[in-house]
Amino acid sequence: MAFGFPGYIEVLLIAMGLSLASVLISKYLGDQKGVKNLKAEMKTLNTSIKKAQKAGDTKEMNRLSGNLMKLSSRQFQLNMKPMLFSMVLFFSMFGFFGAYYADLAVPSPVSIPFIGSSLGWFHWYLIIVLPGSFLFRKLLSVE
């Protein structure tokens, strides 16, 4: 393939590298303290909403839900900058993957509905990058 390894190993290594790069971008370009504080406030609001719901106070529930929506919007804004940089990185790599690994077929131990018994580069990439990002986020303490 592109680097002399079997294709599935190359996709695995590149996907893990992209996962790490994405997490590092989030860590250093994002406001980690701000996101952490917002998550704590949102958790408190959710608890208050549940209490208001149990009490049947719809007016208070609506007020708290509005506050929660404002906090969610702020959290989205804080995550937007790192997300844009990560998207540029990932989309630039999709062309590379498509060019070099279009015919890649990774055998699957089980038949997956709608996919079959072998995975193309995109499905293999997703299987690697999702848990990889989760792992790197936990290891590097990224919110």
pTM of the model: 0.77
pLDDT (mean) for 92-114: 86
Whether the pLDDT of residue 2 is over 80: the answer is no
Residue 88's pLDDT is 92
pLDDT (mean) for 26-55: 90
Q: Name which residue leads in pLDDT, 68 or 2.
A: 68
Distances (CA, A) of 18 to 55, 57, 62: 47, 47, 41
The tens digit of pLDDT for each residue in 66-82 reads 999 999 999 999 889 89
The string of DSSP codes covering 87-126 is HHHHHHHHHHHHHHSTT--EEEEEEETTTEEEE-HHHHHH
CA distance 47 to 41: 10
Number of neighbours of residue 71 by Cβ within 10 angstroms: 17
Q: Which two tokens stand for residue 101?
A: 């690994």
pLDDT (mean) for 47-65: 89
